[in-house]
Structure 1
């Protein structure tokens, strides 16, 4: 008991001891606030680096791979369809365009596979998926190469078609499911990183507010004690330290809350739409390929017609619609939506985008995408009608032609409209990342610096009072 009493007298009973104790507590709390703000700021910058340099690129690379695989297969079908008999009767413009786009898609796939191989490091499941994709793609290229070689020989159309069937079956059963798995896996990883970052930001904001409130309370108690003990109204140093602390808490809170807002905009308002639109684009290319396959392979027309309808339902889903009723129902439900934006009688990727309209100009661009899609759907029925009438060459020319008012031209307009919507969301994703980083770069030095200044000002403000007892 005697030792405890002596200790109490040493550290609290005398005025200098009380001042030194309050000074130590204030300095420690101010230092802790500075450290907390610094750690939080660097953690936010790390989260932005993950979002911008890893999570988003690997998700979009997986979506781009899905699209490029569909495009490559569609262009292979177009080459076979437009080549005639070893070049005799060739549809020259469609053939030349298809050869060029085929090469572009093949190079894009190689680039995406390399990107995804790097991104998959650390995830054994993703590594195995990318390895399997790479092996299967090599086999797919071999089959397509053989098909194109056979098609270059007079009378080789049947052998070419057999090889193409094997290739497109490989694409559908192994390559596309694996690519879709990577899109989902990488997007889920991004979502998990986002959830973790938001949770950390919320915790750090609460800690900054709590620590700041405690420091302000200690500074208030110190000011009160100085006023009471030395009969002065205010201590300038402690008052300045209080102002610095208040500003540090305000700026630090603003930094963390702004980061959370920009992170939400980047992930959900912008990138959710980017993913939905990337999926829509890949599905669109697959549906477009089904048209070419339908013309190319008479024995599988029923299969490719059903596949085209399934893709259409993924994009703009209409309950119980058939190919013969789809266009009329599309027109009816779309008109209902245009009359009342709350009247959404359809599902699919377009609905997902329309449910997430956030940015200026986005709704008009999204609506234009659906309207160009409706034009493309009407073209598809014309292709099938021409084929049913025995006009196979006219059907192929309309399907693959690049003249105005042909199916390919309208498909290009649809993709351009879809790209405009995606571009709006990508631009806001990029701006949110930039603004999030700028918020940290601009506010962190001030917030942390003011916390350090509070500690120094407190020490300076108490020095004259402690000197009185020297």
Structure 2
């Protein structure tokens, strides 16, 4: 995923640069065209003692329309591209990473119970992955829940008060769409429930209740760790789907802007050329 994201980001940067260049070129050429038509209008008025040439005047109107449509098409395309990449896809990347990390962490939790020789290793791996999701400086498995509760309460009081790092922070820093914040918050709250389940599993194991710990960890009955893990993944998928839908909509809107506006701009340019020719024809005939 990271390699695909880097490739996409490189392509995005290149395309944005190209669009910016095209926009500058369109503005410059548009201004030059309008200046040329203005000079032509002035020359015809001075040379043939007429105030305005109707054909050239109409051509100027078409040229203005063509420039405006071209600028609008390029600007809209750039904005929809930015929305697709930054508003939507950046969140999809963070949430997809979170999903992959979550499954790895869940596997480490199960291995903790099943592989006594590497128990400490799996406990540390679970903590490390938890930190990737919702990072708390200096937290251990013993202090993580309290830190999560405290920082999440601070965020609830002030959405700009984010005292944690990780993939969930990346998503909460990029809230853009209607319903996205509520879905993201529901995901973190489901994650907190799953984290508390992990501590319960370890506590049962420490008390010598291995059967109960395994049953609670690996069962799918309501109220068990896996059931809560499933609820967490469902919530995660819902916020991911919000961003995926908007990504698709932004791509569609960008293509629509090109399809709807550029033909109009091209038609206006052709009309400007034709009207200029029509406006000049009577004046050229006077030289015969």
TM-score bin (small chain): over 0.9
> 1:402 corresponds to which residue?
220
Which of 375, 389, 404 is residue 193 of structure 2 equivalent to?
375
1:442 lines up with 2:260 in the alignment: yes
1:422 lines up with 2:236 in the alignment: no
Q: How does 1:324-403 map to 2 (within 5 A)?
A: 324-403=142-221
Query: Unaligned stretches of 5+ in structure 1?
Result: 1-182
TM-score, normalised with respect to structure 1: 0.61
> 1:300 corresponds to which residue?
118
1:223-267: CA deviation from partner (whole Å, max 9, x where unpaired): 111112222221111111101100000000000000000000111
Q: Which protein, 1 or 2, shows the higher relative CO under an 8 Å CA cutoff with sep ≥ 6?
A: 2
Query: Unaligned stretches of 5+ in structure 2?
Result: none
- Tell me, in whole angstroms, the C-alpha distance in 2 between the residues paired with 1:360 and 1:282: 25
- Tell me, in whole angstroms, the C-alpha distance in 1 between the residues paired with 2:148 and 2:231: 19
- Tell me, in whole angstroms, the C-alpha distance in 2 between the residues paired with 1:360 and 1:341: 16
> 2:277 corresponds to which residue?
459
- Tell me, in whole angstroms, the C-alpha distance in 1 between the residues paired with 2:191 and 2:258: 42
Which of 8, 11, 15 is residue 197 of structure 1 equivalent to?
15
Q: How does 1:92-103 map to 2 (within 5 A)?
A: none
Which of 231, 238, 249 is residue 56 of structure 2 equivalent to?
238
- Tell me, in whole angstroms, the C-alpha distance in 2 between the residues paired with 1:377 and 1:212: 60
> 2:24 corresponds to which residue?
206
Q: Secondary structure at the match of 2:142?
A: helix
1:281 lines up with 2:70 in the alignment: no
- Tell me, in whole angstroms, the C-alpha distance in 2 between the residues paired with 1:440 and 1:396: 58
Runs of 4+ displaced beyond 4 Å: none
1:194-226: CA deviation from partner (whole Å, max 9, x where unpaired): 111111101101101100100100101111111
Q: CA deviation at 1:185?
A: 2.0
C-alpha RMSD over aligned residues: 0.9
- Tell me, in whole angstroms, the C-alpha distance in 1 between the residues paired with 2:97 and 2:284: 70
Q: CA deviation at 1:325?
A: 0.7
TM-score, normalised with respect to structure 2: 0.98
Q: CA deviation at 1:420?
A: 1.1
